[in-house]
Amino acid sequence: MKKLFSAAAMFIFFLILTGCASSSTSSVGVNCDYSQGKPLWDLPLVCQGR
Q: What is the pLDDT of residues 1-50, one digit of tens each?
A: 889 999 999 988 887 776 655 555 554 566 777 787 878 777 777 777 65
Tell me, what's the pLDDT at 20? 58
Tell me, what's the pLDDT at 12? 85
Tell me, what's the pLDDT at 43? 75
Give the distance from CA 22 to its chain's centroid.
4
What does the alpha-carbon distance between residue 33 and residue 50 come to, in Å, rounded to a whole number?
Answer: 17
Three-state secondary structure call for residue 47: helix
DSSP secondary structure of 3-19: HHHHHHHHHHHHHHHHH
